[in-house]
Chain A
Amino acid sequence: MKDFNIKKKLMIYIGSILLLACVLFVVFFSYFFNQNSRIQVEESFKNTLKIYEKIFGEEIEFIHTMNTVIVKNEELIENVKKTDDFGIYGKLADLLRDLKLNNYKTAVLLIKAKDRIAVIPGEFNYTVPVELAGNEKGIGKFFKVIENKLFFISQVPSYDKDGSHVFSCFMFVEIGDLFVKNLKNKFEDEIAVVIDNNIITETYDGILINSEKLLTHSYSITDNPLAEIIVAKDISYISENTRKSGLIIIQVFGAIFLLSLFLANYAALNFTRPILNLSGCASEIAGGNLEKPVERECNDEIGELAFSMETMRSRLKENIYNLKIANKNLDRRVHELSVLNKLNNELNYLQDYKQVFRVILKTFIINLNIEKSSVMLFEHDKLVSVETNLKGDFIDTVPVIKIDKGEGAAGKAFLKEKPVVVNHAEKSRIFSRADKYNHIRNILCIPFSVKDSVKGVFNLVNIKHMWQKKDVELATLIINQGLLAIDNARLYELAITDGLTGLYIHRYFQIRLNEEIMKSQRFSKKLCLAMIDIDYFKKFNDTYGHQAGDKVLKIVSGLIDDNIRKGVDIAARYGGEEFAVIMPDTDITGALKFAERLREKIQKEELFYNNQKLSVTISCGLSCFPVHALDSMKLVMTADNALYESKENGRNRVTVADETVMKRG
């Protein structure tokens, strides 16, 4: 029951009440029907008894009357007077037949002075009861039990014309089978004759006395022995009628109950529909569907509830909409931050602003889903294209695009120092319609500044749809972040490079050497370190002055920088005229080739100072991790020792550290 919905519950409640009502109806109806039936039966039985008394009385009176007819028959009287037996018996037979007394079990006794004149039937041997025989001339009607048979006896005397008594006719009619059968023919109900509580005859097929199917009433006919006539009414039809009526009642009850169920269902449906609708709407709202409005079907409390729920739904929908907008903005912001974060990761340690430009352009391509991006720098009163990325690849623009300030979208952006958006390039008056720009459908041009001075313009070309504010904001964010990196790269470079030679300073060298040794150790790679010293550098300074020395340092450092692997090897000014080159993933053979090649190039380099040719050579010491040392300090030391060996052995040479050196170290 607790799992049923409200409609079913209501239906069960209403159905139960209706069922109860129906049951009460059936009970009361049955009770009244039963009572009514009983009253009807009792009334009917009273009528039965009245009819019986009337018919029985008439039968008895008929027999007695017929007896009076017999005794007045002159022919019979004459025959008796003549003692003509044939005539007496013949006439009696005729009379009994004619008077229809044969319909009863009738015996006739003609008696005179106690002598039997005639008896019909002939074998009838009962004598006239004493009380009647003594009064031979009397008239009477009596009931008598003789030999366990109940008789009605009619006594009528016969007189001749002269008034003399001729005979008396005693008519014995047995109140037995034939009599009750005749009675039954005139009387629908049942009759029995009982003598001393024994049923002598009965019209009922079953056992009449004590039958539950019968209502009975007894009439005492004689006292001793007690003879009774029992009149009975078969009331089995009542129980049959009651059964049929009960059946009809049950069928009607069933029909009413079914109808009631349907009505209950209908009522429950109508009553609970608004609630069920509300429940359905609430489920929809709970399930997240806020589109379906809550309809107000009525003006009662449920209608009020529906109205409140509808208000709640509307507000919830509005709030969720706002939330979605906010969420969308947040997503965009997160996306922007993610883009900036990636950008930052890529911009870290970039020391070249051109690399920064490339990263920015590639970020545009990936995150703004555009076809092409480029950057233009303002040089010599022109905006000059310096980097271009087409669908992820950097391309050279030949010839280099140069435009004036205020020319086209980029020129206008530069001039106004504001972003310029062209969504329909083919229709734009701002956009330059040169053939070379035919491929451009839309463009966003954003100027950028370094140290409060506008330095150039970023061009973002052919976004998939249209340029929107969010795109401009994201692009601006990327550019600003990139500009910071450009700034940072410039400062960093200033911090870790030697001002004279442009190579890394000693401190940076130490940091990187430690990092590279750790990398080599992790990946089981070899790493070589070359320590380089300019031979007789002090002599240059002393002979030609410090400017000449600085020039030598610049040339040698330039040659070192030219010969190392870009982005792989790290060259640093170790101090004075001493340089160091870290060669990751390089064994001693490779390092030796590099060092020899460098030494030869420097030796062959023609150096002039004040029109004097200067001869410059270098000495170099090589050590290898992990062959010669397992940490940075020892590696430097072994390389330094090898350098010392080169110096010792005549300079302008390369010496590889060996075990000896190790030991000496």
Chain B
Amino acid sequence: MNKILNITLLLILFLGLGCNVDNKEIIKFLYDSSSEDNYFLQQSVLKFQNNNNVKVELDFQSFLSLKPYINTLSKNDMPDMFLGVGDWGGELYQKNIIKEIKFDKFSSGEYYRYEDKNIGIIKNMEYPVFFYYEDKFSDKDKLTLDYIFSNFGNNFAYDAKNMYFHVFLASFFSADFLNNNSFDFSDKNFIKSIEFLKKYAKGKITDSLNYDAVVNLFAAKKLDIIIDGLWNYNRHVNNGAKVLELFPEKVFYGAKVYYVSKNTLNDKITGDLIFSLLEDEKKITSVFENPENINFYPLPQFPEMNLFWQKGNELLYKALFAD
């Protein structure tokens, strides 16, 4: 009789305690991108999960909310890695949110650096360029800065109120207005660039012209040439446009960067995942090859940078629309 009791108990225990134990490592990945990129990302992540004993938990935040969101997270809730904008890097590093990294699979040029430390892996560099429809210009050699801007509001336009684009324009004037820890809007070359813009753009564009309008006008071929960021490279190229090979010698760039959280316990797997995502991206999307004769500088990451953008935008607005 005892045997029957024992077998029953064992049966109950077996059934009661029977459960699946998932011993996979979990990587939390906080992402900032568009829905199309999400699809690409999800496919790439699925592939990585299938090839590794890892479960990747994806979380999405919009571009604007991602950094504030990170700042609200407790240590335990912090993701293992996230994709963010390069110019946040210094702040995140100083706040001990991200850490210095070193992965075997990446060369030194692929790291995003802050104060000589590798603090992230660059997904892609972002800086403004001229996009144009080649067929609209019989002689593209004529496409000098002066020539292009002389047609401002006719076949050429861009979001001239945006300081981000003006930094690009100022670079053509070798303006020395933005250093590692400060900015100087009184730099004569910077002022020259402002005057240049004012000369060609003032009165040519209305207050209502915005970035989206410019991009859509260009896509609708109501504009022949624009200045836009490389983040729209695929859109413009797919629409028949090209990047005009007109670059200043020195270009400040922003970047999308994969950061690794200071709290992660999965350094190696995180590095492998980033590597895998970048490899997949190269296969799927068109990538603009950075010109070799340009000196690239990351946009500085000092605390007054917000002031820089704010003051600069005000300056541009006044130059374009004030009497």
Pair B8/A86 contact, Cβ less than 8 Å: no
Residues of B within 8 A of A86 (CB): 153, 157, 205-206, 208-209, 213, 217
> With an 8 A cutoff between CB atoms, is A89 at the interface?
yes
> With an 8 A cutoff between CB atoms, is B5 at the interface?
yes
Pair B9/A123 contact, Cβ less than 8 Å: no
Contact with B along A106-147 (1 / 0, CB 8 A): 000000000000111111000000000000000000000000
| Closest A residue by C-beta to B207 | A90
> With an 8 A cutoff between CB atoms, is B218 at the interface?
yes
Known: A86-B205, A93-B212, A258-B8. A250 touches B219 (CB 8 A): no
Residues of B contacting A: mostly:
helix
Cβ < 8 Å to A, chain B residues 1-42: 1, 4-5, 8-9, 11-12, 15-16, 35, 39
| Cα-based distance from A119 to B211 in the complex (angstroms) | 15
Pair A122/B221 contact, Cβ less than 8 Å: yes
Residues of A within 8 A of B238 (CB): 123
Residues of A contacting B: mostly:
helix
Pair A11/B210 contact, Cβ less than 8 Å: no
Pair B215/A122 contact, Cβ less than 8 Å: yes
Residues of A within 8 A of B221 (CB): 122
Pair A177/B39 contact, Cβ less than 8 Å: yes
Residues of A within 8 A of B217 (CB): 85-86, 89, 122
| Cα-based distance from A8 to B1 in the complex (angstroms) | 8
Contact with B along A82-102 (1 / 0, CB 8 A): 001111011111101100000
| Cα-based distance from A91 to B207 in the complex (angstroms) | 10
Number of interface residues of B (CB under 8 A): 33
Which of B39, B211, B216, B222 gathers most chain A CB within 10 Å? B216
| Closest B residue by C-beta to A246 | B15
Known: A75-B208, A85-B222. A123 touches B235 (CB 8 A): yes
A258 to chain B, nearest CB (A): 7
> With an 8 A cutoff between CB atoms, is B310 at the interface?
no
Cβ < 8 Å to A, chain B residues 212-267: 212-222, 235, 238-239
Residues of B within 8 A of A79 (CB): 208
Known: A123-B235, A177-B35, A250-B15. A87 touches B208 (CB 8 A): yes
Pair A250/B216 contact, Cβ less than 8 Å: no
| Cα-based distance from A261 to B6 in the complex (angstroms) | 12
> With an 8 A cutoff between CB atoms, is A247 at the interface?
yes
| Closest B residue by C-beta to A262 | B5
Which of A75, A86, A118 gathers most chain B CB within 10 Å? A86
| Closest A residue by C-beta to B18 | A247
Pair A123/B35 contact, Cβ less than 8 Å: no
> With an 8 A cutoff between CB atoms, is A178 at the interface?
yes
| Closest A residue by C-beta to B157 | A86
Pair B9/A258 contact, Cβ less than 8 Å: yes
B50 to chain A, nearest CB (A): 14
| Closest A residue by C-beta to B217 | A89
- Which residues does B use to contact A, with CB under 8 Å? 1, 4-5, 8-9, 11-12, 15-16, 35, 39, 153, 157, 205-206, 208-222, 235, 238-239
The 4 closest A-B pairs by CB, nearest first: A122-B219, A122-B220, A254-B12, A93-B212
